[in-house]
Amino acid sequence: MLVDEFDVFLFDLDGVIYIGPEPLPEAVESLKRLRQDKKMIRFLTNDPCTTREKTARRLNSLGIDASSEEVITSGWATAQYLKSEKIRTALVLGDENLKWECQQVGINTDNQNDVEAVVVGWDNDVSFHDIQQAAKLIHKGSKFIATNADRTFPTPEGPLPATGAMVEAIRISTEKRPIIVGKPYPYMFKKALEDFSPSSRAVMIGDNPYTDVLGAHQAGIPAILVSDQKIKKFPSEKDFRNPDATIPNLKSLFDSNINIKKWISPSFTWPENIKAGVAGIIFDRKQRVLLMKRADNGLWGIPSGHVEPGETVEEAIIREIREETGLSVKVNRLIGVYSDPVSQVFSYPNGKVSHFITTCFECEVVEGTLNKENEETLDVNYFDLNHLPENLLHMHPRWIKDALEESISYIR
């Protein structure tokens, strides 16, 4: 039985424990059985328009045993994050519940003009003027923090805009990425698990692959999806959004015929998007390879970059090499197309994570002089193949090796 596999059970609320004012079938009875079996429980919700105490009372009213200490709301978790960052003043675009949570940890939410952080939750009365004020403060240096990034929430009339819609409006206008506290981001899971031993076997149970399942897997724990519909799997077996088991209701936790797949965290960070990349290997007459020291991370590597709209991959690598080294080149041949996520997923200082599919070419210099320092690079030089710099981007030795073999290499 699934119940025997775990010590700690993390539950999403809406869609798993209840819908609207009513508990879901088998939810109350199943939670009672978990208590009887001495299982540890936490309730996680991205709803920033409530408090731990109110959520516990709501569960109690449905006949579910729950204390406020067992509830993790995105509003409470956000307040805890602000406290950990020693933030004392904040503009809060949220309702009274979020402001109350912030005030409980000593944060002044009254000042609207000079604050350390802008906190975005949800409030039906938020105006465009409020969003403009938030953008102004972020431009001036205030930290940008959001309770969650849910773009919609369900209603009888269909999905309506949620916190994520406000977050996107501010992100686009400031070109700043927020720190997001709620699921699927790590902080909420960290707070939910901090009271337990690292050896405790924990599992997340939710109804949303994009928040509950993805978030659990990013936190390194398995995830069970609650759905009475046939769920279409994401194509890749390594996709973090695929659940390890799917059950129609919580009673299935006690069904001896249902098994769970073991979650093994891949050795790459979950990417937000997939991008087309290019790389160009240039050998000189002494068979030395051209490398550049990147300004963004201080590492040496083969000239490389993005494919921009309207470009072919060949046009992209010719442009990138010219921008990064000052050299004009022609493309001689294709070396390979690389997509392995272990080597092709990149995390940037701003928190963005991208998975590149990189087309690598061998190129030949036709004219130009090396530009050893520009906005893209700190240095550019040719290196003997037996004396490559130690701080070389980890996938680039493979590209050089494949180039020397003079055959097309397709890496899956």
Which residues are annotated as catalytic? 12, 14
Tell me the C-alpha distance between 111 and 90, whole Å.
7
Which residues, at least 6 apart from 407, have a Cβ–Cβ distance to it below 8 Å?
none
Please give the angle made by the CA atoms of 155, 179 and 74, to the nearest 5 degrees. 45
Tell me the C-alpha distance between 95 and 77, whole Å.
15
Tokens 């897997």 -> residue = 217
Please give the angle made by the CA atoms of 369, 373 and 375, to the nearest 5 degrees. 115
- Written as six digits, the tokens of 244 are 């390890």
Phi, psi for 269 (deg, rounded to 5): -80, 145
Phi, psi for 215 (deg, rounded to 5): -65, -45
From 280, 298, 305, 299, select the one nearest 290 (Cα to Cα): 280
From 98, 67, 70, 97, select the one nearest 82 (Cα to Cα): 98
Which residues, at least 6 apart from 125, have a Cβ–Cβ distance to it below 8 Å?
none
Query: Max Cα separation, the chain?
Result: 79
Alpha helices (H) in 87-160, listed in sequence order: 96-104, 128-139
Handedness of CA 109, 110, 112, 116 (dihedral sign): negative
Dihedral Cα 350, 351, 357, 361, nearest 10 deg: 30
176 burial via Cβ count (<10 Å: 0-12, 13-18, 19+): middle
- Written as six digits, the tokens of 342 are 């272990």
Handedness of CA 249, 33, 210, 181 (dihedral sign): positive
Alpha helices (H) in 85-160, listed in sequence order: 96-104, 128-139
Tell me the C-alpha distance between 120 and 180, whole Å.
9
